[in-house]
Structure 1
Amino acid sequence: MQPLADRLRPKKIEEMIGQTHIIGKGKIINKLIENKNIPNMILYGPPGTGKTTLANIVADVTGKKYVKLNAVNCGVKDIKEVIDSAKRDLFSYNGIILMLDEIQALNRKQQQSLLEVIEDGSVTLIASTADNPYFVVYKAILSRSTIFEFKTIEKQDILRGLKRAVKKLELDSNYESINVEEKALEYISETCNGDMRSALNKLELVFNIGIDIGLNLVNITLDNTIECSSIKILNYDKGGDDGYSILSAFHKSLRGSDADASIHYLARLIKAGDIQGITRRLLCVASEDVGLAVPQAITITEACVQAALQLGFPEARIPLAQATIYLAQCPKSNSAINAIDQALSDLDNIETGDIPLHLKDSHYAGAKDLGRGSEYKYPHDYVNHYINQQYLPDPIKDKKYYIPAENKNEIAFDRYWKNLKNIK
């Protein structure tokens, strides 16, 4: 029998679930379909969110010949053969739509083979990918396409889809009754990770094991649902958009001093087993975002990182959590990164001049004859180990790169040096 997810695949745009930011009355996808003026499109988002369904609907309502390929198992020859075959039937249809699943699986040369037909308008390309298209799609194709991002489907929309599926099962089956516990459907919608296809597959499995042949009925219970469910799979690809987004959210939560959000994203990264990504971000935050507000933060973080790497998972989660909460709770300062970035920018954009002669190396014969180091004043020979002298090159001698942030440590050091340097 055809899988439930395929039997319930929407045939009309009004039947689609989720993606309300682009689908719905007055929304862009509906307007394109109504006008039957479909551009080349790249549909980007997680599995089970409606990308293929939308492509089918678009092809159907526009009356175009529909050709579907999966990039995982096709090459340039396959693409050209399908397109050439489709072109022979061009005048029998209102145009051709090529649905290309998993476009990221095509290399650059394979993607370039699509350009000719995209440019002359003989074929409308609708490509789908779960990866960020800006990472995996050839720029020439991107510039000729409209990108639509599909998002994970909200729990309440998944629940609505499951209830619709139950009604379909009631109509299609010959059982006396189908008894459904609401909590079972809620559990599925909670654990399917916004994937409608996954939710329907789970429902179908629970339906099949809940059949009571003797009583001619089906019981869909929470206990059966939990028994049938595997561990919830998170969207995570170390080299893809999901991976970068979770790492970004982790870093920004640490920077924003939200310990709860930081721990949440740490848990996602631990589930994905990305210990290298976690430790790299922790060390970066210790210097970039905590910095001189708590100078010892880098030392403490390094100790936790080394402990985690030595322990490995699952025990590594403990020092990683310790470092995460510690960094989230630390006062913040970005004065160090601001200082170095400004100095690097000046090297690229302005004339910074030569190193002052008195600072140049003088540890060789003839250095004094060149004036190297002759006027250098050794700070430790003076009171408080400080003497006023020029260190920056002449063109930028008054430049200020380091601006102390408003925190206890930097304020204290700044006050110390201001008082000392005012001593005559």
Structure 2
Amino acid sequence: MEPDLFTAAAEDRQEKDPSSSPLAVRMRPRTLDEVVGQQHLLKPGSPLRRLVGDGDGGPAGASSVILWGPPGIGKTTLAYVVSKATNKRFVELSAITAGVKEVRAVIEGARRAAGGYGKETVLFLDEIHRFSKAQQDSLLPAVENRWVTLIAATTENPYFSIISPLLSRSLLLTLEPLTDEDLRGLLDRALTDERGLGGAVTLPEDAEAHLLRVAGGDARRALTALEAAAGAAIAKREPEITLQTVEETVDRAAVKYDRDGDQHYDVASALIKSIRGSDVDAALHYLARMIEAGEDPRFIARRLMISASEDIGLADPNALPIAVAAAQAVAMIGFPEAALTLSHATIALALAPKSNAATTAIGAALADVRNGLAGSVPPHLRDGHYKGAAKLGHAQGYVYPHDVPGGIAAQQYAPDEVRGRQYYEPTRYGAEARYADVVERVRARLKGDE
């Protein structure tokens, strides 16, 4: 089995008849200079530049490269560019469908190619995190002996999903999500380049904005949607790709939502207020609008974390851990799967009992501090871990709470200026009802009333 022969045949067909290949394939970068985004990896003298022998320092010494980042941002493209730039065979496998047998076949083919006609091989292994430890172990001899240049791609944290021996022998490159500006440049190039649409149609601003939203940071998705819309416009003999044509071809209506304008803040506000009002269905509606419009999932997750403390607090102590876990998961998986995580958290927060006691408590405390009510720390609470502290009366008379029954000592903690001020006023909703009972008893004991 020689997968590179199929690749070569496909390239030959593309050169003879470019229109036979999908637009995303035709617009695949041929050099590092054509790659969009990832500028942090493409600087002169960077490890990626040195890997292809571009710039000072010659080729990088690593025999294995791990590309870590979300889907659709160019991991396969970078592997292909490296193989072209170094004039090596390019063999692609997916860990979803391939196993040890297929890996060994590629390695054996690489050894024959190197020994037979001096051609080195780049093995691109997509979704490497899906390989078991034993399967990843099977790659080590080829990497250590440099029988192949392994370029592995993963969407999951490699420190958790890739075995240490392979990780230690690899150059780890973290790819950043593509920005709208990155994708806009890609679309512009596809519209005008002879490899792409060659100026056959134009793309107005509103249609371009919708394509960017539909793409969701995925270059392949952006080019596929552009190709479908351009084909429809050309069939209708229209000189430009209208918003209506884009909506028809991608089967998705344009959402009225500007990530930098009023709609962004209005919909985000409506989401939080619906959660605060416990209307789970309205909250899901606004969440869906934000997702469909291509909102950054991290922005949504941050708003949910704020809501968990601002509107729920101790009425449901699990609300904040759920929101934080959702934010961590979203950062790791990205869209489209992140929509499930955000839905999970939104439903939990909307249906949780509500309390703004934590919000009003810190607000009242901050107001006092800002108004100058920030007196001296009582002497018995001051630091006593230095020579001479006792002479100053610092830490003298402090009662260690663990030494008294109940663990609460009757002593003054607040400065004189705010002594007796009660900032936290718990509600009787959800789990906070228990805190309401506790705080009454604690305050009484601190005063010595019990």
TM bracket, shorter-chain basis: 0.5 to 0.7
What corresponds to 1:229 in structure 2? 250
Amino acid aligned to 1:2: S
What corresponds to 1:220 in structure 2? 241
Amino acid aligned to 2:145: D
The structural deviation recorded for 1:197 is 0.8
Percent identical residues: 27
Q: Per-residue displacement from partner, 1:214-237 (whole Å, max 9, x unpaired)? A: x5x5431111112222459xxxxx
What corresponds to 2:125 in structure 1? 100
Amino acid aligned to 1:49: I
Q: Per-residue displacement from partner, 1:144-187 (whole Å, max 9, x unpaired)? A: 222222222101111111011010269766x9x52432221222
Tell me: CA distance 1:108–1:416, structure 2 relative to 1, closer, same or farther (3 Å): same
What corresponds to 1:366 in structure 2? none
* 1:121 aligned residue (121, 146, 161): 146
What corresponds to 1:57 in structure 2? 81
Q: In the alignment, is residue 133 of structure 1 matched against residue 158 of structure 2?
A: yes
Tell me: CA distance 1:219–1:106, structure 2 relative to 1, closer, same or farther (3 Å): same
What corresponds to 1:349 in structure 2? none
**How far apart, in 2, do the equivalents of 1:112 and 1:192 lie?**
36
Question: Any conservation in 2 of the 1:63–1:93 contact (CA below 8 Å)?
Answer: no
* 1:17 aligned residue (13, 29, 36): 36
* 1:209 aligned residue (220, 228, 232): 232
What corresponds to 1:6 in structure 2? 25
Amino acid aligned to 1:43: L
**How far apart, in 1, do the equivalents of 2:152 and 2:318 lie?**
48
**How far apart, in 2, do the equivalents of 1:185 and 1:58 lie?**
31
Amino acid aligned to 1:178: V
RMSD: 4.9
Tell me: CA distance 1:407–1:113, structure 2 relative to 1, closer, same or farther (3 Å): same
What corresponds to 2:95 in structure 1? 71
Tell me: CA distance 1:212–1:266, structure 2 relative to 1, closer, same or farther (3 Å): closer
What corresponds to 1:418 in structure 2? 446
**How far apart, in 1, do the equivalents of 2:172 and 2:289 lie?**
28
TM (norm. structure 1) is 0.59
Question: Any conservation in 1 of the 2:23–2:224 contact (CA below 8 Å)?
Answer: yes
The structural deviation recorded for 1:415 is 3.8
Deviation above 6 Å: which 4+ runs of structure 1? 263-266, 268-272, 288-291, 315-319
Tell me: CA distance 1:199–1:295, structure 2 relative to 1, closer, same or farther (3 Å): closer
Q: Per-residue displacement from partner, 1:285-326 (whole Å, max 9, x unpaired)? A: 89x9689x965445999xxxxxxxxxxxxx999965645795
What corresponds to 2:214 in structure 1? 191
Tell me: CA distance 1:96–1:300, structure 2 relative to 1, closer, same or farther (3 Å): closer
Tell me: CA distance 1:71–1:320, structure 2 relative to 1, closer, same or farther (3 Å): closer
What corresponds to 1:181 in structure 2? 204
Question: Any conservation in 2 of the 1:205–1:228 contact (CA below 8 Å)?
Answer: yes
* 2:167 aligned residue (117, 142, 149): 142
1:131 aligned counterpart, secondary structure: coil
Please give the residue correspondences for 1:363-382 in structure 2 after superposition, counting only pairs within 5 Å: none
**How far apart, in 1, do the equivalents of 2:252 and 2:127 lie?**
25
Please give the residue correspondences for 1:14-413 in structure 2 after superposition, counting only pairs within 5 Å: 14-33=33-52, 34=54, 35-37=58-60, 39=62, 40-91=64-115, 92-93=117-118, 95-168=120-193, 177-212=200-235, 218-231=239-252, 267=287, 295-297=314-316, 320=348, 322=350, 326=354, 330-331=358-359, 390=405, 407-408=424-425, 413=440
Give ranges in structure 1 of 5+ residues lacking alignment.
233-253, 273-280, 302-314, 334-387
**How far apart, in 1, do the equivalents of 2:444 and 2:33 lie?**
69
Q: Per-residue displacement from partner, 1:336-390 (whole Å, max 9, x unpaired)? A: xxxxxxxxxxxxxxxxxxxxxxxxxxxxxxxxxxxxxxxxxxxxxxxxxxxx964
What corresponds to 1:357 in structure 2? none
Tell me: CA distance 1:223–1:295, structure 2 relative to 1, closer, same or farther (3 Å): closer
Query: What is the number of equivalent residue pairs in this alignment?
Result: 309
Amino acid aligned to 1:182: E
The structural deviation recorded for 1:69 is 1.8
**How far apart, in 1, do the equivalents of 2:404 and 2:196 lie?**
90
**How far apart, in 1, do the equivalents of 2:214 and 2:179 lie?**
11
Amino acid aligned to 2:105: E
**How far apart, in 2, do the equivalents of 1:221 and 1:89 lie?**
50
**How far apart, in 1, do the equivalents of 2:357 and 2:119 lie?**
62
